[in-house]
Amino acid sequence: MSMVRIGTGAGFQGDRIAPAVDLAERGELDFLVFECLAERTIALAQQARLADPGAGFDPLLERRMRAVLPACARNGTRIVTNMGAANPRAAAERTRAVVRELGLPLTVAAVTGDDVLPLIGDCILTETGAPARALGERLISANAYIGVAGIVEALDAGADIVICGRASDPALFLAPLVHRFGWAMDDWVRLGRGTLVGHLLECSAQITGGYFADPGVKDVPDLADVGFPLAEVSDDGNAVITKLPGTGGLVSRATCTEQLLYEIHDPARYMQPDVVADFSQVELEEIGIDRVRVTGGTGHPATGELKVSVGYRDGWRGEGQISYAGANCVARGRLAAELVRQRLSDWGSRILEERADLIGLDAVAPGGARGAAEPAEVRLRVAARCADQETAQRVGEEVESLYLCGPAGGGGVSRAHREIIAVASALLPAASVTVRSELSETLDA
C-alpha cells in the first residue's frame, strides 16, 4: 500500500524555524507544509499591500525558504504554504528569486482567488447581522477560506512550491493527499480523514508536546528541542502521527486527543470548504514510542458555502500597566484603577469600551483568586477601545501619571496603543469564488 509522508514546517506566523529544517533534512518527507496565517493576519497583510503593492506576504517567507529549500530540493520534498497572505503572487516572485540565487531546480506556483473583497458588499456579517457594505470606509479585506482545488492544480502541474493566501488550514495538508492519491472530490470518507490529518498537524508542536506541559502532572521530555510532527498517511486516509527520533517532546494518545479537539465545536461537523469532516468516532492508538495510529475519521458532503474572513478598522486601543507590591497591594491597585477610570471619564464618548484588571488577581481567571490569600504583588492593567489615536494614547498616559498622582508605591509602568483591526465572518456560495493557480513560468511573462 502506498504511503505519503507529510510534515509541518510551521503552525503560526512566528513559529520556530529549526524544527522545520530538521524535518526537511531528516524527515524523508514528500511534503512539508507551513501554516502561517491567523484570523487577523491577512487583514494586516492587506493593509501592508495597500501601502506597497509588492508587499502583503509573510515577513518570514524568505527566511523560512532559505532555511529549508536546499534540503527540500535534495530530498524531493515539495512545499505547500499560505505565506502568500494578501499577496501570493508577490510571495511566489520573492521565493523564485531565492530559488534562483540558491541555484535550485524548483518551480513555484501562486494560488489566487481567496480575495473576495469585490463580492462581499451584500453578504451579512455573522457578528453584526448587517451587510459588509455597512462598514463603509472601515472595510479593509475579505478573504474566503478556499479549499484544495488551486493547490491540487498546482501540484498536478508539477509545482515544487505552492504558495496560497487564505485557504482553510487543513486544506494545506489535504491538498497534497488528494494530489498524490487521486482521491475523488466526493469521496467524503477520505476527504474527512485527510482533513483530520491536516487538523492534527496544522499547529506544529501542539501535537508533539507543545501547549501541553504541566510540571509534575503532564511532563514533556526535552521540550526546549521539541520536534515538529509528521504523518505517515495511507491511501485510505488513515495515518500514523509521529516525530523524528532524537527530537524533544512526545507524541501520545493524550497529545493527540488534546489537538483533535483544539478549536473544534461539534466534533461530528467540522465545517470545511471541501467536506464536513466528522471526528466523532476517531480512535487513537499508541503503537510505538512517539507513534499514534489515527483511524475512524470520516466525512459528509460539503455545504457549498465558504467562510469569509472580513477585516475592518475598529478604532484604537490604548493600554497602560503599573505594579503594586507588598502590604495592602490589592487595595492600592483598586484605588489606582478607580482614579484612572475617573480621569478617563473626561474623554466621554471617545472611549467606547474600557476595562481594568489586577494581573495576579483577576485579569485572566474569571472570578479571581477564589478566596486565595492576598497576593505578594499585583499589576494594574487598564485597556480601552477608543474612537481615535489621541484618546488611545491618553489611556497609557493616565496610567503613567499614577507615579506622582496615584496611590503609594506604584512602579514599572508600561504603555502602548495601536489601531484595532477586527475580524468578522460571513458565508459566500463556493460557486461564486474562482480559484486559480499560476506556475512560475506564467509569472515571468
Contacting positions for other proteins (CB under 8 A): 39-40, 126-127, 211-212, 214, 217-218, 253-254, 257-268, 279-284, 296, 314, 317, 353-355, 357, 359, 363-367, 370, 381, 383-385, 420-423, 425
What is the spatial distance between Cα 55 and Cα 46, in angstroms, rounded to a whole number?
9
Pairing of the two strands 291-295 and 239-243:
antiparallel
- Report the amino acid identity of residue 442: T
Residue 97 · residue 91 · CB < 8 Å: no
Residue 212: strand, helix, or coil = coil
Specify the residue, 108 or 284, whose C-beta has the smaller distance to other proteins.
Answer: 284
Specify the residue, 112 or 252, whose C-beta has the smaller distance to other proteins.
Answer: 252
Specify the residue, 60 or 420, whose C-beta has the smaller distance to other proteins.
Answer: 420
- Provide, rounded to whole angstroms, the least separation between the CB of residue 105 and other proteins: 41
In three state form, how does the secondary structure of 255-299 look? HHHHHHCCCCCCCCCEECCCCEEECCCCEEEEEECCEEEEECCEE
What is the spatial distance between Cα 168 and Cα 308, in angstroms, rounded to a whole number?
10
What is the spatial distance between Cα 93 and Cα 161, in angstroms, rounded to a whole number?
12
Residues 6 or more apart whose Cβ sits within 8 Å of residue 200 = 207, 229, 231, 241, 256, 259, 260, 294
- Provide, rounded to whole angstroms, the least separation between the CB of residue 224 and other proteins: 20
Specify the residue, 157 or 369, whose C-beta has the smaller distance to other proteins.
Answer: 369
- Strand partners of residue 351: 386
Q: What share of the chain is helix, strand, coil (3-state, %, to 5)?
A: 35, 30, 35
Specify the residue, 370 or 431, whose C-beta has the smaller distance to other proteins.
Answer: 370
- Report the amino acid identity of residue 3: M
Other C-beta atoms closer than 10 Å to the C-beta of 130 total: 11
297 DSSP 8-state letter: -
What the block records as the C-alpha cell of 230 is: 509528521
Phi/psi class of residue 316: alpha, beta or left (left: φ > 0; alpha: ψ in -120 to 50)?
Answer: beta
What is the spatial distance between Cα 122 and Cα 427, in angstroms, rounded to a whole number?
11
- Provide, rounded to whole angstroms, the least separation between the CB of residue 134 and other proteins: 16
- Provide, rounded to whole angstroms, the least separation between the CB of residue 107 and other proteins: 35
Question: What count of Cα atoms within 13 Å lies in the side-chain half-sphere of residue 75?
Answer: 22
Residue 343 · residue 354 · CB < 8 Å: no
- Provide, rounded to whole angstroms, the least separation between the CB of residue 423 and other proteins: 5
Residues in the chain: 445
CA 274 vs. chain centroid, Å, equals: 20
Residues 6 or more apart whose Cβ sits within 8 Å of residue 236 = 1, 190, 193
- Provide, rounded to whole angstroms, the least separation between the CB of residue 415 and other proteins: 15
Specify the residue, 52 or 285, whose C-beta has the smaller distance to other proteins.
Answer: 285
- Provide, rounded to whole angstroms, the least separation between the CB of residue 432 and other proteins: 23
Specify the residue, 16 or 269, whose C-beta has the smaller distance to other proteins.
Answer: 269
> Which of 95, 261, 233, 105 is closest to 162 using CA atoms?
95
Specify the residue, 3 or 363, whose C-beta has the smaller distance to other proteins.
Answer: 363
Specify the residue, 156 or 266, whose C-beta has the smaller distance to other proteins.
Answer: 266
What is the spatial distance between Cα 16 and Cα 25, in angstroms, rounded to a whole number?
16
- Provide, rounded to whole angstroms, the least separation between the CB of residue 253 and other proteins: 8
- Provide, rounded to whole angstroms, the least separation between the CB of residue 69 and other proteins: 32
CA 331 vs. chain centroid, Å, equals: 39
- Provide, rounded to whole angstroms, the least separation between the CB of residue 355 and other proteins: 5
Specify the residue, 66 or 350, whose C-beta has the smaller distance to other proteins.
Answer: 350
- Provide, rounded to whole angstroms, the least separation between the CB of residue 257 and other proteins: 5
Specify the residue, 131 or 368, whose C-beta has the smaller distance to other proteins.
Answer: 368
